[in-house]
């Protein structure tokens, strides 16, 4: 493949890599970023190398050009990382008062945003953590392993990619068509923070839109009182990553708007003097402070609710804050030509979201990938609705069944039951149990983001099983959002959405009494842009040779979509935001340099 670069990849400062605060839903003053150059080595055995192969730029995976490596980790290999760090001095970074005073009684936490696929973490030769799941964050208390002066972190990674039942998304070792280059290892920010002995572990705010209040649950490692102070809501046009950016300490009392006290583990209700709803046009956010003993953290929430309600004719509609909202969406794979799963900068993330909003979209379907928390934070503050897919796994997929036969049968309104575990690549019980665990953890980790409206459990039958059971499990984990239980062919009649894919036939819908009808994938019109494509071959659902014809075809298709709205269509998801490798059906080229479908066509 031809190597493409984004402008952000070309401008990357290797001394300052993705330094923005990585956890906007729970911000502390203490923050030590460990991105940058690490040593790396590939081995055949689980044995720490005596010598390393070179340096890798974390958090970019070794398969991508920005890492400086450009090598695929194979399923029969291990990838090793190593770096050292010293205990920080007060002028090294933002540190807590406790750390400035010598850190007596404090703890040091080590965080990994995501490591694909399984890993073991060693600190000064002692095992500090073990984790499986290439899309979810994990952390470890490493206080007991530290020593004065220089300390060492070593990470061993194993990635079976699409040869196992683990979650993998669109990754495939033998890439091509709708499946893309497999990546591995560290692909999100690595960082540390200092906390007191008694500290806040998590914060979750659940808005009660109709009641004009918010319920905030704080988890901690100590059962001592919690104090919460909410500030006046605002719309934030510029990205923020630290409390100092949100509130000036001198004006804290003026900004405080409402407060409450309680204990960890209980839902603490905070009444609001007035409600400023979160909408796509005015995405109001409420920032608040949580204090527990000597610990202090910042978070935010928004007042909004997503529901299915009947319109005047009785047709079920998607509503935001009890007002009908047609969600005009775009499919986003979250791939970059120079960083693969990892965006080359925070500005690159903002570009994707803002450019889609500027072109008339108010929703992004994040397709079988979980992004770093900053991606959702920017959707929260910019007013972009999100449909979040769960990441697919399972065995080897059978295209004749999950793609070809399913496409034809769905067009004929034939429902295929989800009991065929072999055909749906879900034979292994351990894989099914792992999917349930990761689905629940995904909802738990992301449910604080107000922009997320819909959870999508399965896509086109890939690893699908016990669909109704999964819907009930997810509904119990998060009853506040809509659920698309099966996007595409293998609808089982449950969830909140009748979710259709249509790339080949005339667009049509059959509205139901209870579920909202959505076109969760369509379009996919492709055009290979010379000089901005990685492959000579192309994949898509309608091939065009020039932008004029492509734009005229898109306009015609959009008129067909608009004609379905009075009939009951509630949302649409065009495929897709950008080209990815051979799949050249993006609005933008893979390098985000050329906009193939113009703004006037949206």
CATH of the domain at 98: 2.60.120.260
State the pLDDT at residue 87: 75
Domain that holds residue 52: 7-195
Tally of domains within the chain: 3
pLDDT tens by residue, 113-152? 999 999 999 999 999 999 999 999 999 999 999 999 999 9
State the pLDDT at residue 403: 84
- Whether 543 is covered by a domain: the verdict is yes
Do residues 468 and 396 share a domain? Answer: yes
CATH code (residue 288): 2.60.40.10
pLDDT tens by residue, 515-539? 999 999 999 999 999 999 999 999 9
State the pLDDT at residue 467: 97
- Whether 233 is covered by a domain: the verdict is yes
- Whether 363 is covered by a domain: the verdict is yes
Residue 502 Cα to chain centre, angstroms: 25
Do residues 20 and 137 share a domain? Answer: yes
- The last residue of one of the domains, among 251, 271, 293, is 293
Give which of 579, 167, 531, 509 is closest to 316, Cα–Cα.
509
State the pLDDT at residue 128: 98
Which DSSP symbol is given to 284? -
Residues 447, 449, 455, 457, CA torsion sign: negative
Do residues 143 and 217 share a domain? Answer: no
Q: Could you give the C-alpha distances from 387 to 86, 119, 454, 573, in angstroms and in order?
A: 41, 29, 5, 10
Q: In sequence order, which ranges of 371-482 are alpha helices (DSSP H)?
A: 373-382, 399, 406-411, 429-446, 467-477
Q: How far apart are CA 573 and CA 329, in angstroms?
A: 4
Do residues 85 and 127 share a domain? Answer: yes
CATH code (residue 525): 3.20.20.80
Do residues 189 and 138 share a domain? Answer: yes
State the pLDDT at residue 540: 87
- Whether 2 is covered by a domain: the verdict is no
How many Cβ atoms from other residues are within 10 Å of residue 581's Cβ?
25
Coil, strand, or helix at residue 29?
A: coil
Do residues 144 and 263 share a domain? Answer: no
Do residues 268 and 397 share a domain? Answer: no
Do residues 595 and 473 share a domain? Answer: yes
- Whether 375 is covered by a domain: the verdict is yes
- Whether 83 is covered by a domain: the verdict is yes
The backbone torsions φ and ψ at residue 247, rounded to the nearest 5 degrees and listed phi first, read -145, 130
- Whether 299 is covered by a domain: the verdict is no
240 contact partners, CB below 8 Å, separation of at least 6: 24, 246
Q: Could you give the C-alpha distances from 18 to 66, 298, 381, in angstroms and in order?
A: 12, 21, 19
State the pLDDT at residue 90: 42
Q: CB-side exposure of 161: number of CA atoms within 13 Å?
A: 21
Q: How far apart are CA 128 and CA 126, in angstroms?
A: 6
pTM for the complete prediction?
Answer: 0.94
Do residues 494 and 588 share a domain? Answer: yes
How many Cβ atoms from other residues are within 10 Å of residue 372's Cβ?
25
The backbone torsions φ and ψ at residue 126, rounded to the nearest 5 degrees and listed phi first, read -110, 140
Do residues 523 and 428 share a domain? Answer: yes
Q: Strands 185-186, 126-132: parallel, antiparallel or unpaired by DSSP?
A: unpaired
Q: What is the dihedral angle through the alpha carbons of 571, 575, 578, 579, rounded to the nearest 10 degrees?
A: 170
Structural element, H or E, at residue 356: helix 346-358
- The last residue of one of the domains, among 195, 215, 234, is 195
- The last residue of one of the domains, among 174, 195, 216, is 195
**Does the bond joining 515 to the residue before it have cis omega, within 30 degrees of 0?**
no
Do 467 and 458 contact (CB within 8 A), yes or no? yes
State the pLDDT at residue 481: 98
State the pLDDT at residue 247: 47
- Whether 589 is covered by a domain: the verdict is yes
Do residues 235 and 173 share a domain? Answer: no
Burial class of 306 by CB neighbour count within 10 A (0 to 12, 13 to 18, 19+): buried
SS (H, E, C) 68-134: CCCCCCCCCCEEEEEEEEECCCCCCCECCHHHHCCCCCCEEEEEECCEECEEEEEECCEEEEEEECC
Do residues 180 and 315 share a domain? Answer: no
Q: How far apart are CA 475 and CA 485, in angstroms?
A: 11
Beta bridge partners of 518: 499, 571
Coil, strand, or helix at residue 470?
A: helix
Q: Give me the residues of the chain with pLDDT under 50, please.
A: 90, 92-104, 243-244, 246-254
State the pLDDT at residue 257: 86
State the pLDDT at residue 244: 47
């Amino acid at each position: 493949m031809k190597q493409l670069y984004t402008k952000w990849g070309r401008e990357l400062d290797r001394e300052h890599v993705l330094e923005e605060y990585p956890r906007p839903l729970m911000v502390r003053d203490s923050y030590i970023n460990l991105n940058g150059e690490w040593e790396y080595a590939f081995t055949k055995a689980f044995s720490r190398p005596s010598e390393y192969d070179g340096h890798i730029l974390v958090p970019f995976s070794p398969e991508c050009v920005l890492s400086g490596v450009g090598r695929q980790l194979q399923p029969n290999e291990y990838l090793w990382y190593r770096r050292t760090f010293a205990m920080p001095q007060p002028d090294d970074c933002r540190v807590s008062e406790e750390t400035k005073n010598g850190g007596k009684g404090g703890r040091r936490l080590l965080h990994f945003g995501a490591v694909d696929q399984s890993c073991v973490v060693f600190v000064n030769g002692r095992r500090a953590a073990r984790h499986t799941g290439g899309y979810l964050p994990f952390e470890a208390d490493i206080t007991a392993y530290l020593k004065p002066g220089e300390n060492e972190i070593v990470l061993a990674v194993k990635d079976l990619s699409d040869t196992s039942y683990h979650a993998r998304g669109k990754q495939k070792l033998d890439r091509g068509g709708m499946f893309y280059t497999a990546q591995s290892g560290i692909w999100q920010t690595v960082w540390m923070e200092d906390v007191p002995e008694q500290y806040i572990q998590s914060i979750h705010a659940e808005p009660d839109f109709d009641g004009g209040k918010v319920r905030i649950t704080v988890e901690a490692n100590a059962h001592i009182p919690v104090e919460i102070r909410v500030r006046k809501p605002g719309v934030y046009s510029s990205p923020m990553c630290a409390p100092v950016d949100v509130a000036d300490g001198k004006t804290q009392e003026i900004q405080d708007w409402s407060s409450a006290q309680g204990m960890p583990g209980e839902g603490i209700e905070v009444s609001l003097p007035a409600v400023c709803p979160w909408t796509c046009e005015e995405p109001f956010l409420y920032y608040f402070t949580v204090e527990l003993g000597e610990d202090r953290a910042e978070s935010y929430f928004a007042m909004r609710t997503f529901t299915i309600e009947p319109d005047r004719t009785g047709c079920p509609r998607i509503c935001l804050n009890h007002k009908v909202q047609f969600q005009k969406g775009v499919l986003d794979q979250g791939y970059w030509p120079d960083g693969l799963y990892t965006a080359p900068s925070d500005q690159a993330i903002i570009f994707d979201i803002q450019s889609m909003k500027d072109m008339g979209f108010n929703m992004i379907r994040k397709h079988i990938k979980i992004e770093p928390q900053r991606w959702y934070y920017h959707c929260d503050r910019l007013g972009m609705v999100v449909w979040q897919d769960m990441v697919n796994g399972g065995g080897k997929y059978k295209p004749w069944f999950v793609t070809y036969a399913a496409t034809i049968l769905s067009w004929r309104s034939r429902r295929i039951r989800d009991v065929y575990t072999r055909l749906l690549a879900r034979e292994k019980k351990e894989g099914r149990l792992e999917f349930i665990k990761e689905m629940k953890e995904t909802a738990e980790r992301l449910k604080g983001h107000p922009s997320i409206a819909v959870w999508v459990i399965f896509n086109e039958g890939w690893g699908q099983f016990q669909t109704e059971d999964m819907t009930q499990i997810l509904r119990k984990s998060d009853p506040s959002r809509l659920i698309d239980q099966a996007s595409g062919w293998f609808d089982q009649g449950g969830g909140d959405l009748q979710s259709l894919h249509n790339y080949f036939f005339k667009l049509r819908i059959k509205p139901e009494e209870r579920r909202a009808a959505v076109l969760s994938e369509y379009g996919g019109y492709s055009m290979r842009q010379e000089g901005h494509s990685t492959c000579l071959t192309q994949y898509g659902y309608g091939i065009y040779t020039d932008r004029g014809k492509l734009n005229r075809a898109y306009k015609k298709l959009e008129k067909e979509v608009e004609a379905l709205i009075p009939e009951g269509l509630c949302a649409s998801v065009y495929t897709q935001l950008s080209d990815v490798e051979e799949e050249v059906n993006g609005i933008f080229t893979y390098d985000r340099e050329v906009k193939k479908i113009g703004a006037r066509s949206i």
